[in-house]
């Protein structure tokens, strides 16, 4: 495990820990045995507050390993349960920025479909309703800016399926830039151009509506081709 890991904390109280997940770091333990954010945060809490024994930290949602951005973890089981319920009812809002290969037509709309994961190769595939193991997937999108063959796009998830954004846009021939699994001609080596830039939910105890935002690395390709600061302006949230 990374020693003395110092997370980028956006908010912390007795109930929640909102942090920035780095790209290429797993959200939680997986079969790889690699370092993951959940265990690193538990270690951080144990060190910071001199907690004896095991530290509780509840996993509320996940980001794919190559995706960076805002995540919330629950410091109590009550907070975890209430946030999970918000995910079920749609009160837990997740928005992403992605750089796509070309702009979809129309430039704003909704993608719905069915996805199935192959656990052997860790790939997700579009399939038809009724397929064994298929899960419903839905998202809204709108193109914010176009630069040549690339399109900066905002995505609002309605479901949180594994690899959902990447597979659904690859399925309409507009893959995410830098996606080595589904990107086709846009499978350009480097970091995946997908960022969880906005997370909104109701505080599980105070009932305050909260929103946390984070810019993707604006100096890196392909983000540097776009006006990122304007894209993440809360005034532009649709």
Q: Which residues of 140-178 are buried (b: 16+ CB within 10 A; e: fewer)?
A: ebebbbbeeebbbbbbbbbebbebbbbbbbbeeebbbbb
**8-231: CATH topology:** Pseudouridine synthase (3.30.2350)
Domain boundaries, the chain: 8-231
The pLDDT tens digits for 68-81 are 999 999 999 999 99
In which region does residue 133 sit, left (phi positive, over 0), alpha (psi from -120 to 50) or beta (all else)? left
What pLDDT, on a 0 to 100 scale, did the predictor assign at position 237? 66
The pLDDT tens digits for 117-149 are 998 999 999 999 999 999 999 999 999 999 999
The pLDDT tens digits for 15-29 are 999 999 999 999 999
The pLDDT tens digits for 180-223 are 999 999 999 889 999 999 999 999 999 999 999 999 999 999 99
Q: Is 213 exposed, middle or buried (0-12, 13-18, 19+ CB in 10 A)?
A: middle
What is the C-alpha to C-alpha distance for residues 189 and 182, in angstroms, rounded to an integer?
Answer: 12
* 64 noted as active-site residue: yes
The residue count for the chain: 238
Q: How, if at all, do strands 68-74 and 58-59 pair?
A: antiparallel
Reference 80, options 96, 199, 88; nearest CA is 88
For the chain, the maximum distance between any two Cα atoms, rounded to a whole number of angstroms, is 55
| Residue among 30, 39, 64, 140 flagged as catalytic | 64
What is the C-alpha to C-alpha distance for residues 41 and 171, in angstroms, rounded to an integer?
Answer: 35
Rounded to two decimals, the pTM is 0.94
Provide the mean pLDDT of the chain: 95
Task: Tell me the C-alpha to C-alpha distance, in Å, between residue 193 and each of 53, 125, 159, 223, 237.
Answer: 39, 20, 20, 7, 20
């Amino acid at each position: 495990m990374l020693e003395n890991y110092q997370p980028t904390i956006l908010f912390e109280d007795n109930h929640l820990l909102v942090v920035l997940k780095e790209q290429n770091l797993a959200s939680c333990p997986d079969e790889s045995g690699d370092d993951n954010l959940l265990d690193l945060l538990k270690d951080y809490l144990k060190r910071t507050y001199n907690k004896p024994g095991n530290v509780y930290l509840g996993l509320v949602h996940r980001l794919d390993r190559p995706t960076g951005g805002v995540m919330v973890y629950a410091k109590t089981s009550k907070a975890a349960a209430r946030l999970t319920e918000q995910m079920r009812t749609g009160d837990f809002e997740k928005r992403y920025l992605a750089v796509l290969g070309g702009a979809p037509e129309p430039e704003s709309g909704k993608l719905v479909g069915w996805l199935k994961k192959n656990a052997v190769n860790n790939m997700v595939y579009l399939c038809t309703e009724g397929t064994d193991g298929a899960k419903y997937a839905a998202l809204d999108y709108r193109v914010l800016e176009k630069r040549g063959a690339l399109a900066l796009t905002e995505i609002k998830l309605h479901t949180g399926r594994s690899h959902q954004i990447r597979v659904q846009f690859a399925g309409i021939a507009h893959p995410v830039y830098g996606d080595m699994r589904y990107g086709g001609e846009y499978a350009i080596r480097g970091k995946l151009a997908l960022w969880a830039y906005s997370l909104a939910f109701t505080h599980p105890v105070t009932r305050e509506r909260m929103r946390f935002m984070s810019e993707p690395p604006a100096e890196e390709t392909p983000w540097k081709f776009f006006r990122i600061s304007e894209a993440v302006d809360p005034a532009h949230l649709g």
